[in-house]
Amino acid sequence: MKTKSELIKEADSIFSQYIRKKSADWRGDAGCYTCCKRFHWKQLQCGHFLKRGNMSTRFDEDNCRVQCASCNVWNEGNYKKYTEKLKRELGDERFNALIERGKKYKQYSNENLSLLIKELKQKNESLQC
């Protein structure tokens, strides 16, 4: 039986793979959401608009985009560019809904996390990279 922190770590890993792989082309290459430099998906990271500590949007596809380490880590998410681009992409209504989801408290049970992991594994398997 895994602990909650172990399940969250596993879900993070699988979700990150999913976000990176779904942005990749047939060669496995994807562009950083904020600087557009191209890398193989395995060299990229899963960037979060609303920070990862917020469990209500941690695994939210509207919240996450592929980013290079330079933008995500060293540039602290390149937040201004990320925000501008995400707002344009999602539109005002969806962007504002994301902000509202981010204000809500969410706690996952071990059962919820196990189900999420199963769903994410299925999504990953459907991708071609």
Count Cα neighbours of 78 within 13 Å in the Cβ-side half-sphere.
20
- pLDDT for residue 31: 97
Specify the pTM.
0.93
- pLDDT for residue 1: 87
Number of structural domains the chain divides into: 1
Fill in the amino acid letter for 31.
G
- pLDDT for residue 129: 65
Please give the Cα distance from 87 to 67 (Å, whole number): 17
- pLDDT for residue 127: 86
Full domain range(s) for residue 57: 4-125
- pLDDT for residue 29: 97
Does the CA dihedral 34-71-30-97 come out positive or negative?
Answer: negative
Per-residue pLDDT of the chain (129 residues; tens, 9 = 90+): 899 999 999 999 999 999 999 999 999 999 999 999 999 999 999 999 999 999 999 999 999 999 999 999 999 889 999 999 999 999 999 999 999 999 999 999 999 999 999 999 999 998 876
- pLDDT for residue 77: 87
Please give the Cα distance from 57 to 61 (Å, whole number): 8
The number of beta carbons lying within 10 Å of the beta carbon of residue 111 is 9
